[in-house]
Structure 1
Amino acid sequence: MLIEAFTEAKDPSAPHTNEDRLVILPGRAYAVIDGVTDRLGTRYDGMLSGQYAAVTVQRALEHMLSAPDNPEDPIAIVRALTATIASAYEAHGMAEKVQSDWNLRISAALALVLVRHETVDVILVGDSGVRINGDHILRVEKDLDLITSILRREAWPVIGRKVSDPEKQEQVSRRVTWHGTRQPLDAVADTLDAGDMDFIENRAIAANLEALPHVQRADIENLVRGGIVNAQGGYQNNASLQLGYPCLDGFEVPQHMIEIQRLPRSEVRTVEIYSDGYFKPGDAFGVAAWEKAFAEAERDDPAKVLLYPSPKGSTASLWADDRTYLGVRF
């Protein structure tokens, strides 16, 4: 067996801020956990909520799956992790506040691979991915993320006509994506005016309607106008909405949103698990191949507005996101 792993924070100079975590239990379980970036600066035990979520899930998984009587049912594992986060709210006196304010919740995406006697089980909650045998990718795609990515793409050239500093352009574009086109204008008044915001909103809605004809206009308008902070949380673990998406946040994850794949162990040669900081998969197994692909994506589209649409891009000092890779060759 060969195991290769790599993780780096979006700020390489501050590795302690990394919101990704790894679980490596050789011959038993492997996971990448991606803490959802905090929206309001909420801290738990001195950590921002995304990092605290990832650490909480990591510790719970390691404890649970190391036990002799570890659960084998994927749904039971997800429910146990949900209960662990719910207990964390209780411990921090946040149980009532998080009921009504989704921005205070601690959230994480999970990509988990369990090695059984006869099978390899893949469990996905969120948008981290798993590649099997170098060519079969399992990942839950979120139309919701594409909507906010297109919003940022449409805002990018408008901002670029107003500022010459690439870092300022990235900062303002994230602000638009984060808070939407109907945010108070004083937050962006040094760069954008009401006419700019109206133009960005109209372009973003039209572009999303073209790219996602199956998505209701009301949902597109809601996300464009409200952005991630004001609109996205209402879709989290919400099975009643078309754009509902799964996430570990201490609240029930609808069972049909949990992606479970069971593969014959004899047919699985390699497993690669990765967080969404990788915008392009490696052309071979291993950290070197995935880092090469990462460097290519950064070279070809550092702002993430052309080839790899994203709600955030890279700058000279910061990557767009934390990234983590875990590869296992059996």
Structure 2
Amino acid sequence: MQIEAFSLGKLLADPGANEDRFVVLPGRAYAVIDGVTDRLGTRYDGMLSGRYAATIVKGALEHLLSAPDAPLDDPEAVVAIMTEALAAAYRRHDMLDAAAKDWNRRFACTLSLAAVSGDRLIVLLVGDSGVRINGSKLLQDEKDLDKITATLRVTAWPLLCEAVADPAEREKTSRLLTWNGTRNAAKVLNGLLSDEQLVGIETAAIAANKAALPHVPEADITYLVQGGIVHAQGKYLNNTESGLGYGCLDGFEIPRSLYQTHEFPLAEVETVELFTDGYFTPGEGFGVAAWESTFARVEREDPSKTGTYPSVKGSTAEGFADDRTYLGVRLG
């Protein structure tokens, strides 16, 4: 058996702020966990909410899967136990009711898990972290919701390049726009973009998203462009009423349709690779070196993440667009 793992936080000056975690129980289970970026700045046990959620789930998962009677073949039980671990954290901080009412106060993370159960490999995906089997079978739940806010940022980028000379400040400004949406950005941009420019960005972003995502209702596109991540995205968290609904571990019920499970005959599995979404495209081969080489190419081609790899965040000299974690296992 060969195991390779790598995890790096997005902030070069503060690598300890990494919100990703990984789990290795050789021959038994492997996982990567991606904490959802904090929206309020509140710290819990010294950690922002995304890192706190990932730390809780990592500990709960290691405890659960190390037990002789661990439910390796029951992903629904794993989801329920991880959900309760986060709910217990809310109760410890006396904030369960507040978190239920306000999505921005929740501890949340994604989970990508591969567990060996007898002669099968069981894969569980909650959120947009991914798994690749045998270097070719890619399993990842990419959200249309993220494409909408990424398109908002891409639409605004040419104006921001004219208005802001410093790359780090330009990146910060673009995040403020996607974070707050076009109807709230004026409050935090301090006049950097005029009301007329924000209206133009909004109109163009809605039109671009309608063309790219014709299956998504215009009302949802408009709501997300205007409200951004903080004021709009939470409406779709663990919500099956909209096609934009997405699953995430946050201490509250996750509808079964919003997370994936897969099974593979263990005898047919040579490699398992798990990764968080800080990797904008899979590595060109197995192993940390291959994935990091591909990552470096992506950074050279599109550091701002406004071209081939559109995102709600880009990279600067101060750090990368996102934390990234890779865990590769070659069986046998």
**Which TM-score band applies after superposition, normalised by the shorter structure?**
over 0.9
Q: Distance in 1 between matches of 2:14 and 2:66?
A: 31
1:243 aligns with 2:244: yes
Distance 1:184 1:264, change over 3 A: closer
The separation in 2 between residues aligned to 1:184 and 1:286, in whole angstroms, is: 41
Contact 2:176 2:185 in 1 (8 A): no
SS of the residue corresponding to residue 161 of structure 1 reads helix
- Partner of 1:174 in structure 2? 175
Is the partner of 1:278 in helix, strand or coil? coil
Residue 304 of structure 1 is matched in structure 2 by 305
Aligned to 2:287: 286
TM alignment of 1:220-259, pairs within 5 A: 220-259=221-260
Q: Deviations over 1:257-286 (max 9, x none)?
A: 110000010110000000000012111100
Say if 2:3 is the partner of 1:3: yes
What is the CA–CA distance in structure 2 between the aligned matches of 1:213 and 1:263, rounded to whole Å? 34
Counterpart AA for 1:286: G
When structure 1 is superposed on structure 2, of 11-20 and 218-227 the one drifting more is: 11-20
- The whole-number CA distance in structure 1 between the counterparts of 2:240 and 2:62 is 29
Runs of 4+ in 1 over 3 A off after TM superposition: none
SS at match of 1:34: strand
Residue 320 of structure 1 deviates from its aligned partner by 0.2
Q: What is the correspondence of 1:1-330 to structure 2 with a 5 Å cutoff?
A: 1-71=1-71, 72-183=73-184, 185-330=186-331
TM superposition shift of 1:13: 2.6
Residues 132-152 of structure 1 show CA distances to partners (whole Å, capped at 9, x for unaligned) of 000110001100000000000
Distance 1:12 1:74 in 2: 35
- Deviations 1:113-147 (CA, angstroms, capped at 9, x unpaired): 00122110110000000000001100011000000
Alpha-carbon spacing, 1:173–1:29, altered in 2? closer, same or farther (3 Å): same
- Distance in 2, matches of 1:13 and 1:159, equals 25
Q: CA deviation at 1:12?
A: 2.5
For structure 2, the 5+ residue unaligned runs are none
Distance in structure 1 (CA, Å) of the matches to 2:74 and 2:117: 12
Deviation of 1:329 (Å):
0.1
Alpha carbons 2:32, 2:325 under 8 Å: kept: yes
CA deviation vs aligned residue, 1:234-279 (integer Å, no higher than 9, x gap)? 1000011110000000010101111000001011000000000001
* Structure 2 Cα separation of the partners of residues 117 and 253 of structure 1: 27
| Distance change (3 Å), C-alpha of 1:6 and 1:184 | closer
In the superposition, the TM-score normalised over structure 1's length comes to 0.99
CA distance in 2 between counterparts of 1:209 and 1:100 reads 31
User: What is the identity percentage for the equivalent residue pairs of Structure 1 and Structure 2?
Assistant: 57
Alpha-carbon distance in structure 1 between the residues aligned to 2:239 and 2:258? 9
Q: CA RMSD in A?
A: 0.8
Contact 2:182 2:227 survives alignment (8 Å)? yes
> TM-score, normalised on structure 2?
0.98
User: In the aligned structure 1, how far is the partner of 2:226 from the partner of 2:313?
Assistant: 17
The answer for unaligned runs of 5 or more in structure 1 is none
Whether the 8 Å CA contact 2:132–2:274 is kept in 1: the answer is yes
The alpha-carbon deviation at position 189 of structure 1 amounts to: 2.6
Amino acid at match of 1:25: L
Counterpart residue identity of residue 292, structure 1: S
CA distance in 1, matches of 2:275, 2:285: 14
Q: Distance in 1 between matches of 2:126 and 2:317?
A: 32
